[in-house]
Amino acid sequence: MIIKVVSLNLWHGGALFDDILPFLAEQDADIVLLQEVFNGEDRELPAQRRSMQILREKLNYPYDDFAAAFRDFDHTNGKAQRGDAILSKLPITARNNVFFSEGGYSETYRDVPGNYANCPRELEHVTLQTEVGKIDIFNLQGIWDMDGDNDSPARQKMSETILREIADKKYVILGGDTNARPTNPAILRIEKELKNVFAGELTSTFNMRRKTNPGYATSVVDMVLVSPNITVLEKSCPDIDVSDHLPLIATFELS
């Protein structure tokens, strides 16, 4: 069985939505992992604050899951939740959402500078039914920390949570914006169980057209990791202007 996966941080829900939509349509992936997704239902909100509604309307994905992390009061006056999302062409038979941070989902968090380290972070999980059996898909936006190699207690908990949730599962695909470098011990712990698809091949996963801090030019934080029994057929990280992050694209074979 062949599966194509795309992972992309939408950048505040889709600041470049006019470019994101044709990109995703052209890729026509079987599974799309998205971070920084908004689920606002007020039609008066800008499109980027209604990510899920726009994606459902404009793209051909019969199955999806939105995992809310917090209610946004700083850009939507509380009219939208923000979190992560998975789009799928394959049936979703189960779904779960596990938080790394204490307290879980928040109605009080404020997404302002100086407070990002306190942002609720989660591991979104769906199970797909396929011709080879169950495939477990995990999507995340990791613990925020400007030091990509800092193995903080919060990142330790993040890696522990991931390892617990993927245990004893035959086919696992994990992707997203980890907010950590591949050299971070938290990531290295996960790599003891999953293989990092782009390991050692990327210089940065940031779109430097949209960044002013030069440090981002050498920061790899977006990753896709898979079970050892999944074969990587193709992979790419195109330098395109659809977000402040670059997308990861990979095609896998499962048998």
* pLDDT confidence band for 118 (50 / 70 / 90): very high
DSSP-based three-state secondary structure for 65: strand
Q: Is the dihedral of CA 137, 141, 143, 147 positive or negative?
A: positive
Per-residue pLDDT of 214-247, as tens digits, reads: 999 999 999 999 999 999 999 999 999 999 999 9
Per-residue pLDDT of 17-39, as tens digits, reads: 999 999 999 999 999 999 999 99
What average pLDDT does this structure show over 131-142? 98
pLDDT at 101: 82
CA distance 210 to 204: 13
- Give the per-residue SS3 of 19-56: HHHHHHHHHCCCEEEEEEEECCCCCCCCHHHHHHHHHH
Least confident of 10-14, 41-45, 51-55, 139-143: 41-45
CA distance 120 to 223: 20
| Residue corresponding to tokens 């992972």 | 7
Which residues contact residue 14 at a Cβ distance below 8 angstroms, ignoring those fewer than 6 apart?
Answer: 20, 38, 47, 48, 51, 54
Q: What is the DSSP letter of 91?
A: P
Portion of the chain with pLDDT greater than 70, in percent = 100
* pLDDT confidence band for 41 (50 / 70 / 90): confident
According to CATH, what is the number of the domain 2-253?
3.60.10.10
**Predicted model pTM:** 0.98
